[in-house]
Amino acid sequence: MADVIKELISEEKVKERIRELGAEISKAYEGKKLHIICILKGSIFFTCELARHITVPVTLDFITVSSYGDGRESTGKVRIVHDLDERIEGKDVLVIEDIVDTGRTLSYLLKMLQERNPASLTLCTLLDKPMRRTHEVKVDYVGFAVPDEFIVGWGLDYAQKYRNLPYIGILGDDE
């Protein structure tokens, strides 16, 4: 049974929207410095593209959390696999995520980061599945709202595959 991927959002549309987000974020943080937290591995492609379109001074840090196994459903647990290298106290922090689905990962992570006393803490996600939310999360910047399908590409994987697709697709199978 082969995986079939249907294009949902073209490479051009993704890039155009990320440019817009970069402009919006640059405006919101005018006169400030921005400390970006990239959630590995999924957000790496989005973070790189977005950071290139942010015009205020940017520093970067990475955190690895794990909430999914190799399947399509959440395992229900959030684990910090690798924590940040730097302190975030007093910094204007922007967390970058690939997709907010149930909200479990982000509600946990944002609470944990808030306890480290950043000057401000906002969230930017490339994709949002609002109808799937079980845990409340305040999302400040959204690339696209997507339907309740399994999405791949732009960092989103299925069993670690397809992160490098240049477009955003829906994963099905050819049954």
Q: Which residues bind Mg ion (CB under 5 A)?
A: 42
Smallest distance, ligand IMP to C-beta of residue 152, A: 6
Is-catalytic flag, 101? yes
Name which of 22 and 153 has its Cβ closer to ligand IMP: 153
Name which of 29 and 104 has its Cβ closer to Mg ion: 104
DSSP 86-152: S--TT-EEEEEEEEESSSHHHHHHHHHHHTT--SEEEEEEEEE-GGG-SS----SEEEEE--SS-EE
Smallest distance, ligand IMP to C-beta of residue 169, A: 10
Amino acid letter, residue 91: K
Smallest distance, ligand IMP to C-beta of residue 103, A: 5
d(CA 110, CA 123): 9
Residue 49 binds what, of Mg ion, ligand IMP, none (CB under 5 to 8 Å, by partner type)? none
Q: Which residues bind ligand IMP (CB under 6 A)?
A: 42, 67-68, 74, 97-106, 150-151, 156
Catalytic residue among 101, 128, 140, 148: 101
Cite the active site residues: 101
